[in-house]
Structure 1
Amino acid sequence: MTFMTLLQRIDLEIGKKNPSEVKELNLSHSKSTSIEGISEEYVALETLNLTGIGLESLSGLPKLPSLKTLEIAENNLSGGLEVLVNCPNLEQLNLSSNKIDSIDTLTPLAKLSNLRSLYLMHCKVENTENYRKLVFAAIPNLKFLDGWDENNESEPESEDQVGNFPNGDLEANGGDNEDENDSEDDEDEEYGIEALQRSDDLEDDDEEDYAPGEEEEAELDEYDDIDEEDEEEEEEDVEDNGANLSGAGVTGPRRPGSKRRHDDSDEVGNGGITGLPPAKHKSTSNTDTPADDGVALDE
């Protein structure tokens, strides 16, 4: 990954602005071991961000009388803080994630009468016994160390902190995200109303009379023809059964009865009727011979 040099980043940030008019300069994550490209022309500069550019010293820092916030975290600084006297109105200083390892390294900061907030998180000096007490003693004007005062009360957020320190950036971005979320919620509500309107239209369409197409009408006609054929076959079966019964000499309505077990010998050979005694047939005479059950059977 290629990083811009500090000079390239400055040109990109200020563009055609006059340096004397610049109040905020964010040069983070460009590359330089020392400060260059920033001159005493930046008389109105109040916020300077040099996070993670690879600084090994603060040499080259000009006099910046209006500077209030200096962000130089995530560099390789181990000392040389005396040059910060060029920023007499400095109020907030972030030295987190540097190579500061002793309280003595911090003593030059006592000359900054307006310094009220200092960040030293992830520096070796944090491992010093009574670290907080010693830092407050070394810098009498200091009010907050790593976001807390001597009584462990949290530092109130100021307008200068929001957008400059890392936690300020997050909060500022969070505010923007809230606005975006509000707009997304509004869009969701609009889409929800449109969806309801579309569902109402669909319900109205469903309530209209259904008109089958030509193919569906043809299929329905085929089903009707099949049903009519089935009914005709059932009527023919009924007529055939009636004829068999009349041929057997059975008259009157049939009484429904329960099925019983029977053998093949129970079936009447000429009529196919089961459950009736076998009929006696005439041999040569034309006289009707009565059956055993009193029913006259015609040949």
Structure 2
Amino acid sequence: MAEKKRKKEISTASRLSVAPMMDWTDRHCRYLHRLMSRHALLYTEMVTAPALVRGGAVHLLAFSPEEHPVAVQLGGSEPAELAQATRLCVEAGYDEVNLNVGCPSDRVQSGAFGAVLMKSPDLVAECVTAMREAAGDVPVTVKCRIGVDDQEPREVLPAFIATMRAAGITRMSIHARKAWLEGLSPKENRDVPPLDYPLVHEMKHAFPDLHLSVNGGIGSLETVEDELGHMDGVMVGRAAYHQPYDILGEADRRIFGDTRAPLSREEVVLAMEDYIGRHVAAGGKLAQVTRHMLGLFAGQPGARRWKRVLSEGAHKDGAGFGLVREALPR
């Protein structure tokens, strides 16, 4: 019963999720995002299984209890190692463990994981089977592309999803672009390959029993609402980082039906005071937190000054919440 309840809760949360983004969705970013939405599913940056298992870097799994529901994304391609890493993630208390089959960076390719795994669906099936056995009642999910390089997405994607379903996967996020492993940088891979939302929508019709989320190029809450007419969930990346309040500020009311009044932008900032105070008191730098807050007032009066004051002062010795208060738009 507990397992069913947990899976239902995390499945509901994934109606709207914030994508795993390297160097961006760290624990400070997630704490900030949680203040704006009580319900959206938040993902960690990708953590590699070798770093956890061989490198002993379990500090990478640290997070605040307030971040729930929170999912960890793993990178790897060795089933036994991914199983070990999954156990560490479950012990750390994550609500979901996700396997990265979408990242196109050279660093990821050289480790034989990420988007290159789209070419090896049977290996991915072995990986997720091992992860599921290690995860117990914690859901294991997959994030993938629609294809890589010269693959034909209309052939590759349904076959890949069918293989995942056969391996016991019930929830997937699909980035609606191909990844080009050679010739495009990771940044270009987020923009240059065309988006194919209709193909991803077709996958929902072809696999009605699976919970499928669409990712890639989602830039507004209105688009999230539109896409939920086709899909079970929507995963938002860069827009949720650069304009977090525009995506998350009204999300609980509009996506999850929560009638509680959302915090205003200023209330979100003030709610960060204790968190920032603890971080600085423990020896952390203000800029490690405030770099994620620069887009809070995007499009609002005073946004430029807010960014300037924080960008110029947050890295200085002794900088604390007083600087954040000073930067607030007046």
Question: What TM-score bracket applies, with the shorter chain setting the length?
Answer: 0.3 to 0.5
Q: State TM-score, norm by structure 1.
A: 0.35
More strand by share: 2
More helix by share: 2
